[in-house]
């Protein structure tokens, strides 16, 4: 890990918009193209990289219709990244789409296909809510004969209840986990820890899903949403959210040539599969895989950004891996900040790298579960010589 190469894939910028509640929040009437333009333009302006030098862009998104691709391309152009110099692609690996998009760009750089690229994601769950998803067109007679195949259609909240039932999780622990997420996020917001990573959209400059005044008593009064006597509530689940994020990557030689500070080094990425019915356990298998790839151990990692799709799956993954709770989501997670599906992975990178620099620590992991049964994880390094 300590060996430096001119060909290392490095991150020189990681920015995001505020994360705001869908339908009710500050970005509810802002089109996803505007969210994307805002964060791409800020990326170029703050690094002073000429938009013409960006060779490829990969963006995560889960909910927009196919016409959304044109909107992304238009957003790129308006942001100052010319159509004739930068290509664009769109990836959908469900909740890991933003991280997968960054991985695509990192891999392209590592394979010497490009030298400069942007990975990121955008999701407006106000414009395209979860309820807009239609059932797939399949041969139902064939699919219904395979239980596991049908499990791919299990609502995410039901998969949370499956994890709770399978591993005997207690509602009180889930609510306590949710409360901690809000408390950590509220403290981070109050202390200005998100300022460096957030690009305001118009006059909206702050995340608005954080409930600083919530209590355990309030959370315990909420009724189960997905199962009559279940434990998964709106309070211990991630929020539906609007937001965008962008990560600018290049070779180390390009960063040095341009005089750009290296925010982080991309060290590895892994995706592993699990049963669809308990898709939330994905981080528990993806994290060990990427650590093995990077010749690191759990003890080597200073901070883990694990997506809180549900308190059930996030807390179980942390416990089964034996990760010290204080190392996980020190500034809160998706329960408090929100989970704009295609954006989340890139947002986590921005939050992680800023926290590693702030605390003068070295290694971080970004991870999440993935709908239909997968988990993804990436390892990032902050070099002591690159402290901002």
Burial of 247 (0-12, 13-18, 19+ CB in 10 A): buried
Catalytic residue among 20, 58, 95, 317: 95
Angle at 261 between CA 259 and CA 266, to 5 degrees: 120
- CA pair distance 34, 135, nearest whole angstrom: 29
How many C-beta atoms surround the C-beta of residue 107 within 10 A?
Answer: 16
Specify whether 20 is catalytic: no
Catalytic residue among 58, 62, 182, 339: 339
Specify whether 294 is catalytic: no
Angle at 289 between CA 248 and CA 60, to 5 degrees: 35
Rounded (10°) CA dihedral 335, 293, 373, 63? 60
Beta strand 303-306 with 363-370 is parallel
Tokens encoding 88: 């664009």
Specify whether 369 is catalytic: yes
Burial of 167 (0-12, 13-18, 19+ CB in 10 A): middle
Secondary-structure breakdown of the chain: helix, strand, coil percentages, each rounded to the nearest 5: 45, 20, 40
Tokens encoding 128: 């395209």
Angle at 286 between CA 263 and CA 245, to 5 degrees: 40
Minimal CA–CA distance to 246: which of 7, 3, 51?
51
Catalytic residue among 20, 62, 294, 369: 369
- CA pair distance 104, 120, nearest whole angstrom: 10
- CA pair distance 63, 242, nearest whole angstrom: 12
Q: Which residues are catalytic?
A: 95, 339, 369
């Amino acid at each position: 890990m300590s060996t430096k190469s001119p060909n290392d894939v490095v991150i020189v910028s990681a920015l995001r918009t505020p994360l705001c509640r869908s339908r009710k929040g500050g970005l509810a009437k802002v089109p996803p193209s505007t969210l994307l333009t805002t964060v791409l333009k800020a990326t170029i302006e703050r690094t002073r990289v000429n938009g013409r030098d960006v060779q490829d862009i990969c963006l995560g998104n889960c909910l927009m219709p196919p016409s959304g691709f044109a909107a992304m391309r238009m957003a790129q152009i308006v942001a100052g990244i010319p159509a004739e110099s930068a290509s664009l692609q769109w990836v959908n690996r469900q909740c890991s789409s933003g991280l997968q998009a960054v991985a695509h760009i990192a891999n392209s750089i590592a394979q010497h296909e490009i030298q400069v690229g942007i990975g990121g994601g955008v999701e407006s769950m106000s414009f395209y809510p979860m309820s807009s998803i239609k059932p797939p067109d399949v041969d139902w007679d064939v699919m219904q004969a395979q239980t596991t195949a049908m499990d791919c259609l299990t609502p995410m909240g039901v998969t949370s209840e499956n994890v709770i039932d399978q591993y005997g999780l207690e509602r009180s622990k889930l609510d306590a986990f949710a409360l901690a997420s809000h408390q950590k996020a509220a403290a981070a917001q109050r202390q200005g820890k998100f300022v460096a990573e957030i690009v305001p959209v118009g006059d909206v400059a702050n995340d608005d899903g954080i409930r600083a005044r919530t209590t355990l008593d309030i959370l315990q009064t909420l009724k189960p949403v997905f199962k009559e006597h279940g434990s998964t509530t709106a309070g211990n689940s991630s929020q539906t959210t609007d937001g965008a994020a962008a990560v600018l990557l290049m070779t180390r030689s390009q960063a040095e040539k341009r005089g750009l500070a290296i925010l982080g080094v991309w060290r590895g990425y892994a995706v592993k599969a699990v049963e669809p019915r308990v898709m939330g356990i994905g981080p528990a298998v993806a994290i060990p895989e990427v650590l093995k790839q990077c010749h690191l151990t759990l003890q080597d990692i200073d901070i883990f950004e694990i997506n809180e799709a549900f308190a059930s799956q996030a807390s179980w993954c942390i416990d089964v891996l034996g990760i010290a709770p204080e190392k996980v989501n020190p500034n809160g997670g998706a329960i408090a900040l929100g989970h704009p599906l295609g954006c989340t992975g890139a947002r986590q990178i921005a939050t992680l790298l800023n926290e590693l620099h702030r605390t003068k620590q070295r290694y971080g992991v970004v991870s999440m579960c993935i709908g239909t049964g997968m988990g993804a994880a990436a390892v990032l390094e902050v070099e002591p010589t690159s402290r901002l």
